[in-house]
Amino acid sequence: MSNARKVKKGNIVKIIALFGFIVLLLLYSFFLLKTKFFLEADASEPIIEVVAPAESPEKYEPIDDELRVDDKPTGNIEAEKPAKEDSAPTTEPTKEPAPDPDPVQPTTPKEDVKQEDDQEQVAPKETPAPPSRAVYLTFDDGPHKVSKDILALLDQYDAKATFFMLDNNMKNYPDAVKEMASKGHSVGLHGVTHDKNKFYQSSKSVVGEMDQTQQTLFELTGIESDLIRTPFGSAPYMTDAYKEAVDVAGYKMWDWNIDSRDWQFRDSRYVDSVIEQLTKLNRVNQPIVILLHERPETLEHLPKLLDYLKEQGYEFKALESTMHPIQLY
Ligand SMILES: [Zn+2]
């Protein structure tokens, strides 16, 4: 302890001496400049020795205390002045505790294990296929001479669809109707006249045309379908009384929520129209029912529509009588 104190005092003396030296050096330089002598090196050394002890070290005791409070003399201070008193052996060698068993080593493998676990947990989350969305293609006004080609195309996409057919057309293309039924498509009724003045004349005419069409379908396929779509859709001609009449007769009236307007465009624009409407409809939680017609122009651009829907992950399904029908109003 006493040695350490001596060391500190020695430091203070050194500092004071340094300040004194600087002050004197300045004064002496000033003096030399005045007397025009340049012998700084020789003159400085004795001055230090004289001045240094003159200064009281007590001025700096607070600093000394601070030094003491802070910590015991560090190795740096002693290393700076080995020339003076040899205090090397007195300073207790710092006990360097034996290095702890490295805690890093156990932790890193743990982290690795955790990461592996995470990866293992993440991996199966990615594997399930995204939930497929159903889209319901519905073809009106058939059957038609292109019916068989439409059916062949649907087969290529493993697609099911729904056909709302007219009585006379079923009689004209009975094989197409049978093929639709045998391939698992849904067969529905669209009436007889497709004339709004005749079809919507009364509730009796509405139900009567559907009954007749159903009879024809039954004769061809043995199926009694309750799926109907009224000509031009239920709005605005189907009054509440008409709706109640078909309901009482056991029919389920379907409209659509995407009108391709294929009969109007008669080219590939109907596909663009469907895609545009589909984008908006995706925000609505209801089955996607697309209105199409059995027409050559529709068939021509149907692959484009099927490709798009397939790429978007849609599954092509047929309407079922258990579903809640989409209606315009
Ligand atoms: Zn129609």
* Active site positions, annotated: 140, 293
Residue 270 lies in a domain: yes
230 C-alpha to ligand 1 centroid (Å): 7
In three-state form (DSSP H/G/I as H, E/B as E, the rest C), the secondary structure along the chain is CHHHHHHHHHHHHHHHHHHHHHHHHHHHHHHHHHHCCCCHHHHHHHHHHHHHHHCCHHHHHHHHHHHHHHCCCCHHHHHHCCCCCCCCCCCCCCCCCCCCCCCHHHHHHHHHHHHHHHHHHHHHHHCCCCCCEEEEEEEEEECCCCHHHHHHHHHHCCCCEEEEEEHHHHHHCHHHHHHHHHCCCEEEEEECCCCHHHHCCCHHHHHHHHHHHHHHHHHHHCCCCCEECCCCCCCCCCCHHHHHHHHHCCCEECCCCEECCHHHHCCCHHHHHHHHHHHHHCCCCCCEEEEEECCHHHHHHHHHHHHHHHHCCEEECCCCCCCCCCCCC
Same-domain status, 254 and 192: yes
What CATH number is associated with residue 206? 3.20.20.370
Same-domain status, 173 and 284: yes
Same-domain status, 158 and 287: yes
Same-domain status, 151 and 233: yes
Same-domain status, 40 and 145: no
Residue 327 lies in a domain: no
Same-domain status, 33 and 175: no
Same-domain status, 142 and 210: yes
213 C-alpha to ligand 1 centroid (Å): 14
- How many folded domains does the chain comprise? 2
* Domain membership of residue 142 as a residue range: 133-316
pLDDT at 174: 98
Same-domain status, 145 and 70: no
Same-domain status, 37 and 140: no
198 C-alpha to ligand 1 centroid (Å): 14
Residue 124 lies in a domain: no
Residue 329 lies in a domain: no
Same-domain status, 225 and 303: yes
Same-domain status, 17 and 139: no
What does the pLDDT profile of the chain (329 residues) look like in tens digits? Answer: 445 455 566 676 677 667 766 766 676 665 555 544 444 444 333 333 334 443 434 333 333 333 333 343 343 433 344 444 444 444 444 444 444 444 344 434 444 444 444 444 444 555 555 566 899 999 999 999 999 999 999 999 999 999 999 999 999 999 999 999 999 999 999 999 999 999 999 999 999 999 999 999 999 999 999 999 999 999 999 999 999 999 999 999 999 999 999 999 999 999 999 999 999 887 778 899 999 999 999 999 999 999 999 999 999 999 999 999 999 97
pLDDT at 11: 75
223 C-alpha to ligand 1 centroid (Å): 21
pLDDT at 7: 54
Same-domain status, 51 and 157: no
